[in-house]
Amino acid sequence: MKRTLALLAAAAAWTSGCSTTQSEANAKAIAKASHCNPCQMPCTLGCLPVEAVAAPAPKPTPPPPPPAPAEPAAAATFDPPPGSYPAAQTVTIASSTPGAVIHYTTDGSTPTADSPVYTGPITVDRTTTLKAIAVAPGAPSSAAAGGDYTIAPPPPPPPARVEVTKERLQLTEKVLFDTGKATIDQRSYSLLDEVAAALKDHPEVKTVRVEGHTDNRGGAKANLKLSQARADAVRKYLVDKGVAADRLQAKGFGQTRPVADNNTAAGRDANRRVEFVIAQ
């Protein structure tokens, strides 16, 4: 009996020791597998050495882009602009770029930073080519701008066709009428406008007598009537143009006061006329 109990105790001790040893072995195997095989699956090839994996090198940082080039200064502007003018002009040059300095030339050459600096309006009294550039700090110069200023006075007015003398208003042209009528030809309107202007410019001339004359063709009575009608028509035209009616008289003389020979066409043409005689 004692022997049987001793055998049972020895068997239990052996079983307990074997289980402990096997458990430790299993734990070591799992730990080893975990070290070489991260997936923790059983490794059938045994434990192989694992090489260290270097971390990837950081990507180089690209350099910043270069700054954008500065905008050039705004082009110079001219007031008045280049063109043709009848008289001298005072030209102002400007640029919308703050702080810009304007350099200009007057001979048509392209201005540079060494050209004269604009400081105030430029008087252009003869045909001139103005050009200018604007220069601003830290910015390229503007493109050259400008152009030709042509100073071309208008042609002189034609000589006056009406001259006020001591005795009369002397006309360089004739007052024309429709043939045989007292209707003023439209071609004479501008001439009579000058007569009206002359009378307004000479208020010292108090009274002017408008005299009508004819050639000797037709009857004397008819010519007298026609000459009076023509004188009346001229007087009315001048009054309508603003000449005071009390400064104007009208008198027809018919064919009684010829200034040329009625036997020629040129003479008869000279005798058909209107005169402006200063009565006072």
Calculate the average pLDDT of the chain: 86
Distances (CA, A) of 222 to 85, 264, 270: 56, 21, 19
| CB distance 274 to 265 below 8 Å | no
pTM flag (> 0.95): no
pLDDT digits (tens, 9 = 90+) for 216-259: 999 999 999 999 999 999 999 999 999 999 999 999 999 999 99
98-119: average pLDDT: 95
| CB distance 101 to 134 below 8 Å | yes
pLDDT higher for 72 or 118? 118
User: Which of 118, 151, 184 is where one domain is finished?
Assistant: 151
Q: How far apart are CA 233 and CA 248, in angstroms?
A: 12
pLDDT digits (tens, 9 = 90+) for 139-162: 889 999 999 999 998 888 889 999
Quote the pLDDT of residue 66: 82
Confidence of residue 51 (pLDDT cuts 50, 70, 90): low
- Residues 176, 140 share a domain: no
User: Which of 151, 174, 203 is where one domain is finished?
Assistant: 151
Quote the pLDDT of residue 116: 97
97-112: average pLDDT: 95
42-63: average pLDDT: 66
Q: What percent of the chain has pLDDT over 70?
A: 81
Confidence of residue 33 (pLDDT cuts 50, 70, 90): very low
Partners of 117 in the β-ladder: 103
- Residues 185, 86 share a domain: no
Q: DSSP secondary structure string, the chain?
A: -HHHHHHHHHHHHHHHHHHHHHHHHHHHHHHHHHHH-TT----TT--PPPPPPPPPPPPPPPPPPPPPPPPPPPPPEEESPSEEESS-EEEEEE-SSTT-EEEEESBSPPP-TTSPBP-S-EEE-S-EEEEEEEE-TTSPPPPPEEEEEEE-PPPPPPPPSEEE-SSEEEESSPPPB-TTS-PBPGGGHHHHHHHHHHHHH-TT---EEEEEE--SSS-HHHHHHHHHHHHHHHHHHHHHTT--GGGEEEEE-TTSS-SS-TTSHHHHHHHSEEEEEE--
Q: Is the pLDDT of residue 84 over 50?
A: yes
pLDDT higher for 56 or 165? 165
- Residues 204, 169 share a domain: yes
Q: Is the pLDDT of residue 3 over 90?
A: no
| CB distance 117 to 101 below 8 Å | yes
- Residues 114, 219 share a domain: no
Q: What range does the domain containing 191 cover? A: 162-278
Quote the pLDDT of residue 6: 46
User: Which of 91, 116, 151 is where one domain is finished?
Assistant: 151
pLDDT digits (tens, 9 = 90+) for 177-228: 999 999 999 999 999 999 999 999 999 999 999 999 999 999 999 999 999 9
CATH number of 267's domain? 3.30.1330.60
- Residues 126, 85 share a domain: yes
Give the closest residue to 269 by CA, choosing from 215, 225, 224.
215
Our count of domains for the chain comes to 2
Q: Is the peptide bond before 82 cis (omega within 30 degrees of 0)?
A: no
